Structure 1
């Protein structure tokens, strides 16, 4: 049985009424408040004055010579109350914190020095966020306390570091955390007291070793950090004089407030059986469906000097198996493994590789009715900043000739754990020849699911949006595309084409359109989709499930009955109206064991049809679908916590900016080449 505690501490509004004054000009120590967040009393009694200005300023103390003045009931003026409580907490921590700031959404970030983790070259800080909210869980105001990992700040000031100033991003001055490009005048006058947050260029310049984040169970250190912080700084009489926190501390979620996905949602269907483990299921009973292509030919692309030490070795692994636990590839993919040596290419140099590959493919006489798969043994790692373009160019050239590909970095072949790598690429290879490694075990429903994910290219500072289309709720995907993020009409047009195809294939039957979106959808983005449905004379609800592609580390719940602290997979908690945490991991039973401990996914629901979510069964069904689609990740046999409706489009969007063409080749829109 889960005993769930969440990192929220309830408190009660102070019962006293206090008078506050508001000014139209900003002064030092005064804070801006948008007119929509002013106390209700002002809107009720002085509306004509309130609407004259967009912003007002207050220090929550002074009333002399103010433009607006009123007593405030904090019970009813919750938006204003949040501002007040946030400023009170900020003032309390100014003397306690080693560094402090308001983050980009106006919550408080407190940094505490970790002397044990610091060195002579840098100071290490543990970071915490304090957020005032009016919680749907606690039905009261509450303080959210989250742990945000660590940051390292150089002990050398910026006036002593001889490096281009564009490498300075965030700095600390006089306990204040500032963006370098918005440095205050006081800080500019004292550059010898301004210390930069370390990033890769600064670490290299100051000869500070790069550290790799430790993997493992993050729930335990997170819980320990917030518990220690609570005991040291919040569970005190001094802090309760500011905010009367509940004596019980972190909120225990009532059992009837916790939802759970259906246990069968873990099930995957293989050839003639059902299981929950992709790794075991691929071996026995075997993949759900083998390739529909009668003829499949594999061929190698590699750097000529790598043949003996890498390519021949890889071929033998494919042909004969790897050690004792990875049988020959044909046993895994249920497909004869034929390596077409005449089609293979050994290029002379990475510098001439693309030229040689283009020439080779133009002159390649492909056999009819045959699916070709290139196994590219790359001499260069795709993360090699100076040469990574080669990885993408090879992918693009092959797609132009309707050839899917699997890239393997040559040094991986001699890795001691290459057997695990082979197990992971097996479902990817099968999917690339249009086989189905496994599918969801659920009843067919007439609905189209669209996934929209994004990736922002740091090189071009442009966000690219990928889309994926699923023609049924079993998780079988047909169709991908990629756009720039402002091309709303093109995205809507692509969705319209797939809706039309779906309707034709299903005798004009469509119950609803479900879109899994990587961010809150705007009116500009949903309007073209609604117009498209209108042109098709489809009067169906559009359901938007917004799925944060990063795990939630602000809201985290803990199962205090379990030593690992991670809640059961499929646990659902509503943290606000139609906003949920979904715990998606490999802990399937209360006594189960999981190697990985991902934090929850945060998602929210919206529908064009009013009151659509009144039935809790519909809410559970939609979240269950998100949960199940995370099981459809064919790039690996390892459990994922994001659904492929977000993950796959993001992967396409991440690669597409590196292509020379401005359109995805048509073959690439209907093949899982990017796995």
Structure 2
């Protein structure tokens, strides 16, 4: 095994943050030579953490520009400055600016890391606010800096790239660190709120964040000074606003997301953080922290072999599904298809019919589904603008005569887009699905505005594989032997008009893609997690009495209260089963990054995972198998953390590797595209449901919606 010096990687701290929250189990396998050849670095800058006494001014009352602290985070003499501090009245507020009306508190920074973090953050903010055009401070005190991008400005919009500089301090180290993150693009309207309401009749309920005096603030939290000057308030663009303002919402579909994030952070560093002015405040080392070898591991099995029809293995989804067909065809041999469309789209409907019946296109739909598809012209539903669409469709669908032992599938040419800024159009888009599900009719929605003959032939394969899954088949399975574990996934989505997040769930019995049930409810329904878990365990134990463990893929970390209720549930079921929760960040990690300097797109190897801190990791799922060959895509890593109801269980490196592999496997089971998103379907599928279900009229998921993958 090469040492850090031999492979030219400088020695580093025990983890990416330089913080050891608990004893760390080494996950490094000396036999992994691939790891030894990866000299990875992070987006973190270290700087010395000197002994320094700093003065602060203390208030016993909340002040907007002050930072709140618990008295236990401060020197003991705080009790001499503020009377009556105890556990019932524990907070004081500090500022770095002298105030003759408040007592002065001197703090040795190296002894009080929370105060040091505040002080360094303030120093950075005061410097950076003179360097960038806009700044934002969120509710937990994170400082974000908005850098204008003139090349992306338009007639109506100013474009900004957003960066956050987070200070990380700890009493156990002699240094502090800066975590530098890129937070994406935002656009600020050049018209004031006053003009937007006058010219475009903009509904102020559409307004989220706004700019006032170079600060980004939530509109609903603006003070009296700002609200009395609407001509000096400039909204940050939201998608809903484009329904009334004549501009398109700028979507950024970046294939090389990790690579471009690296370039943006590097440019930000050179323009601001590497300058003499910044170095006087934060004397960092002028180099990014390296990742030590014992932080890295590589999945032992990174195979992408998938099993298609006839038990044929193929790592190319397109070739596998077209040449061998689905692993398991749809169970019903009788499938009838029809179309729903607007009368003005009659020409497009005829063209679409030619594609789905195989008269056009180089791949026939039946070639993918491996089932005969019977087109029923008499079932077609044509609507117009006379009355709302759902009012026209509902009686036709309700009165449709349907034969027994037959599956029905509708192709819906929608006049509306699912991303429409108009809430009414999105409601119609999804409620057509609901009407069809009520009769157990699965469907495929096609945007009539995007439907074109020249490129639709490429979509037939994607539609075909999704159709197989919607009708109860399995397009492909993993090539590995199934692991008999109960795996339950939860995903959430917040719909602005509903004002609350919705939670979707899915559970399956193994890693072969055998999904058993789906459901969706408001996320504040306390019974949701535990009720779904109880139902899944009971069903699983009927087939597998000796359950080894239950694995939950969740969109957030569970609280102690949740774990206590899970333990009570396990006791009630008389099942001595360990429960593991894998928290999966569904937005991918844009905070902690790990990059490979020798790869043209900065990608670590596929299957590489890096320990950030205790039980928290980054997992890289990408196309970098050879180390230095360009891939054409550079996805962000998945951020994972592990919890269990059994103490010490997550200290087993073999179990961690197995759970990582499980997440990796489920990222290969997206049955709606030959291009696989790098996110496990155990959280992606429930999240898709949670995005759609709040638009339904009913409060309960239709029966077909629980058993079929209708949302693909």
Q: Which moved further from structure 2: 545-554 or 392-401?
A: 392-401
- Judge which range, 146-155 or 629-638, deviates more: 146-155
- CA distance in 2: counterparts of 1:154 and 1:391, whole angstroms: 29
Query: Deviation of residue 465 (structure 1)?
Result: 0.9
Asked if the contact 2:113–2:170 (Cα under 8 Å) also holds between the matched residues in 1, the reply is: no
1:605 aligned onto 2:642: yes
Query: Which of 295, 306, 318 is residue 356 of structure 2 equivalent to?
Result: 318
Q: Does 1:637 align with 2:669?
A: no
Q: Quick one: which of 65, 68, 71 aligns to 1:35? A: 71
Counting only pairs closer than 5 Å after superposition, residues 354-433 of structure 1 correspond to structure 2 as 354=390, 357-384=393-420, 385=422, 386-433=424-471
Q: CA separation of 1:7/1:320 partners in 2, compared to 1, >3 Å: closer, same or farther?
A: same
Question: For 2:530 and 2:89, how far apart are their aligned partners in 1?
Answer: 38
1:182 aligns with 2:221: yes
The verdict on how the C-alpha distance between 1:226 and 1:357 changes in structure 2, with shifts beyond 3 A counting, is closer
Q: Which residue of 2 aligns with 1:113?
A: 148
1:10 partnered with 2:46: yes
2:268 to 229, 232, 236: 229
2:189 is the counterpart of 1:133? no
CA displacement, residues 97-141 of structure 1 (integer Å, 9 cap, x when unaligned): 322232233221112334444467554333211001259999952
- Deviation at residue 599 of structure 1 after TM alignment: 1.6
TM-score (norm 2): 0.85
Verify the 8 A CA contact 2:259 2:634 in the aligned structure 1: no
Structure 1 position 589 matched with structure 2 position 631: no
Task: State the Cα deviation string for residues 364-387 of structure 1 (Å, max 9, x = none).
Answer: 443333333233344544445344
Task: Give a deviation string over 1:226-262, Cα, whole Å, max 9, x none.
Answer: 2222223222444333323123x21222344222233
Give deviations 1:210-240, integer Å, cap 9, x for gaps: 5443634233432232222222322244433
Paired residues for 1:153-232 under 5 Å: 153-161=188-196, 162=198, 163=201, 165-187=204-226, 193-199=232-238, 210-213=249-252, 215-232=254-271
3-state SS of 2:568 partner: helix
8 Å Cα contact 1:265/1:624 also seen in 2: no
Check 1:438–1:159 CA distance in 2 against 1; reply closer, same or farther (3 A cut): closer
**1:411, distance to aligned residue in structure 2 (A):** 4.6
Inter-CA distance 228–657: structure 2 relative to 1 (3 Å threshold): closer
Q: By how many angstroms is 1:650 displaced?
A: 1.3
Alignment partner of 2:474 out of 419, 436, 453: 436
Alignment TM-score, normalising by the size of structure 1: 0.89
Residues of 2 paired with 1:266 and 1:166: CA distance? 47
Unaligned segments of structure 1, at least 5 residues: none
RMSD, matched Cα:
3.4
490, 510, 515: which one aligns with 1:452: 490
Where 2:575 maps in the other structure, the secondary structure is coil
CA displacement, residues 244-286 of structure 1 (integer Å, 9 cap, x when unaligned): 3123x21222344222233434332223232322222212333
**1:547-583: CA deviations, max 9, x gaps?**
1221222222322212222333322222222222222
The 8 Å contact of residues 45 and 285 in structure 2, kept in 1 or not, is answered as yes
Shift of 1:23: 3.6
* CA deviation after TM superposition for structure 1 residue 418, in Å: 0.7
8 Å Cα contact 1:628/1:643 also seen in 2: yes
Count of residue correspondences: 668
Distance 1:639 1:47, change over 3 A: farther
Residues 621 and 321 from structure 1, CA distance in 2 versus in 1: closer, same or farther, beyond 3 angstroms? farther
Q: CA deviation at 1:516?
A: 0.9
How many Å apart are 1:180 and its aligned residue?
2.8
Residue 322 of structure 2: aligned partner: 283
When residues 416 and 522 of structure 1 are mapped into structure 2, their CA distance, relative to the original with a 3 A threshold, is farther
Q: 1:265 to 1:136 in 2, by over 3 A?
A: farther
Distance 2:182 2:172 in 1: 20
Provide the rounded CA distance (Å) in 1 between the counterparts of 2:450 and 2:215: 45
Contact kept, 8 Å, 2:600 with 2:629, in 1: the verdict is no
Partner of residue 366, structure 2: 330
Gaps of 5+ in 2: 1-36
Aligned to 2:704: 667
Return the alpha-carbon distance in structure 2 between the equivalents of residues 117 and 352 of structure 1: 39
Instruction: Report the secondary structure of 2:605's partner residue.
Output: coil
Please give the secondary structure, in 1, of the residue aligned with 2:128: helix
The structural deviation recorded for 1:483 is 1.0
Where 1:401 maps in the other structure, the secondary structure is coil
Q: What CA distance in whole angstroms lies between the structure 2 residues aligned with 1:569 and 1:156?
A: 46
Q: What's the offset of the Cα at 1:476?
A: 1.9
Query: Does residue 144 of the first structure (1) align with residue 144 of the second (2)?
Result: no
Q: 1:615 to 1:524 in 2, by over 3 A?
A: closer
Distance 1:548 1:149 in 2: 17
Mean CA deviation greater in 46-55 or 394-403 = 46-55
1:572 aligned partner: 609
Matched residue SS, 1:613: helix
Moved more, 535-544 or 89-98: 89-98
Answer with 2-11 or 479-488: which moved more: 2-11
Counterpart in the other structure of 2:28: none
The residue number in structure 2 matching 1:244 is 283
Alignment partner, residue 259 of structure 1: 297
Do the aligned partners of residues 478 and 396 (structure 1) sit closer, same or farther apart at CA in structure 2, a change above 3 Å counting?
same
- Asked whether the 8 Å contact 1:464–1:485 carries over to 2, the reply is yes
Find the residue that maps to 2:651 and give its secondary structure.
coil
Worse overlay, 384-393 or 59-68? 59-68
Shift of 1:346: 2.8
Q: Per the alignment, in what secondary structure is the counterpart of residue 600 of structure 2?
A: coil
Indicate the residue corresponding to 2:90 in structure 1. Answer: 54
Q: Where does residue 10 of structure 2 map in the other structure?
A: none
In structure 2, relative to structure 1, the CA distance for the partners of 1:182 and 1:484 (3 Å cut) is closer
Out of 469, 474, 488, which is 2:512 matched to? Answer: 474
